């Protein structure tokens, strides 16, 4: 019998063990959340990534309560949205997320975007620092920060984010930002790890590598994430694809295969989302 799969974890600076492969629920309808989360937990996923913006925190919380998997074994991430920057607003947004999720303590809270134009990210970061000190959230990090804003919140507060979640996939592999994160000792978490599906899966190199491992292109991409050290949170509403993605944990790519995937990078032309440096309040 094959062993049940367990994701490796990355231990964050504050001790939280973040599974290296988790589930993202952006654009998962509330009606689909119970089945998706139940299937994911059965398969072995132990990290769920939501956000106030996604409009599904309430159904995520409900699905977690209905599961047999102990709450302590699941890492729940949510995020403070762009309209809720500033010390007091961020704390209110955190409280509202916790009410919707129905949790006593959150595992990981991120600032969703820095929104440099607003200039409130340091105050927002101070709110998360205090919430962590008060024991309301185990770990605090950021998402979509460019290098200057990332360094600024650390310099201003002396507190380094536990994780930095950024868009990252073979078309946009973020070598520079990963280097900055590494220098600051911040693990990198990849959103849109599959480049949102579609064109990435048409790449001949990925098909060739996949054939060598009796795998799919998506599995090869997720193995690449794991082996370059990123935490990946692919989204799927399909039980088959949820399993397919988790089974990527069985795949071990060669260094040459990783190099080939690195060559798919298109720089900023490969972005699917907004640029953190110019992001305003709209978008994701």
Ligand X SMILES: NC(=O)c1ccc[n+]([C@@H]2O[C@H](COP(=O)([O-])OP(=O)(O)OC[C@H]3O[C@@H](n4cnc5c(N)ncnc54)[C@H](OP(=O)(O)O)[C@@H]3O)[C@@H](O)[C@H]2O)c1
Q: At its nearest, how many Å lie between ligand X and the CB of residue 172?
A: 11
Taking alpha carbons only, the member of 161, 196, 176 closest to residue 77 is: 161
Does 226 bind ligand X (CB under 6 A)? Our answer is: no
Q: Tell me if 191 contacts ligand X by CB under 6 A.
A: yes
Q: Is 54 tagged catalytic? A: yes
| 86 lies in the binding site for ligand X (CB under 6 A) | no
Task: Tell me if 244 contacts ligand X by CB under 6 A.
Answer: yes
- Of the pair 88, 269, the CB lying nearest ligand X is at 269
Kindly state whether residue 192 participates in binding ligand X, applying the rule CB under 6 A. Answer: yes
Find out whether 112 is annotated in a ligand binding site: yes
Site string for ligand X, 96-115 (x = CB under 6 A): ----------------x---
Instruction: Report which of 209, 216, 218 is spatially closest to residue 263, judged by C-alpha positions.
Output: 209
Among residues 16, 20, 21, 24, the one that binds ligand X under rule CB under 6 A: 24
- Please give the C-alpha separations between residue 44 and each of 5, 9, 219, 251, in angstroms, as whole numbers: 7, 13, 16, 16
Considering the rule CB under 6 A, would residue 48 count as an interface residue with ligand X? Answer: no
Asked if 280 interacts with ligand X (CB under 6 A), we say no
Considering beta carbons, is residue 135 or 145 the nearer one to ligand X? 145
Give yes or no for a contact between 39 and 51, defined as CB atoms under 8 angstroms apart: no
26 binds ligand X (CB under 6 A): yes
237 lies in the site for ligand X, by CB under 6 A: yes
User: Which residues contribute to the annotated binding site for substrate?
Assistant: 112
Supply the residues annotated as catalytic: 54
- Which chain residues interact with ligand X by CB under 6 A? 24-26, 49, 112, 143-144, 165, 191-197, 218, 233-238, 241, 244-245, 273, 284
């Amino acid at each position: 019998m094959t062993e049940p799969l367990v994701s490796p974890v990355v231990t964050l600076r504050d001790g939280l063990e973040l599974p290296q492969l988790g589930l993202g629920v952006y654009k998962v309808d509330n009606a689909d959340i119970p089945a998706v989360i139940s299937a994911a937990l059965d398969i072995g996923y132990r990290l769920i990534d939501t956000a106030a913006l996604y409009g599904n925190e309430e159904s995520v919380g409900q699905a977690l309560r209905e599961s047999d998997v102990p709450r302590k074994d699941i890492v729940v991430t949510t995020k403070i949205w762009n309209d809720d920057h500033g010390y007091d607003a961020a704390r209110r947004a955190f409280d509202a997320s916790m009410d919707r999720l129905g949790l006593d303590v959150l595992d990981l809270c991120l600032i969703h975007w820095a929104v440099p134009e607003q200039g409130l990210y340091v105050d927002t970061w101070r709110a998360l620092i205090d919430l962590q000190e008060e024991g309301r959230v185990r770990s605090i990090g950021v998402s979509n920060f460019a290098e200057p804003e990332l360094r600024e919140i650390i310099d201003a507060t002396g507190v380094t984010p536990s994780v930095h979640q950024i868009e990252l996939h073979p078309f946009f592999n973020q070598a520079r930002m990963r280097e900055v994160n590494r220098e600051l000792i911040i693990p990198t978490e990849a959103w849109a790890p599959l480049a949102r599906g579609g064109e990435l899966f048409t790449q001949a190199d990925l098909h060739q590598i996949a054939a060598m491992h009796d795998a799919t292109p998506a599995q090869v991409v997720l193995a690449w994430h794991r082996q370059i050290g990123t935490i990946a949170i692919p989204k799927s509403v399909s039980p088959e694809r949820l399993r397919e993605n988790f089974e990527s944990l069985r795949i071990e790519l060669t260094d040459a295969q990783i190099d080939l995937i690195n060559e798919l990078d298109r720089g900023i032309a490969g972005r699917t989302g907004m640029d953190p440096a110019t992001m305003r309040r709209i978008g994701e």
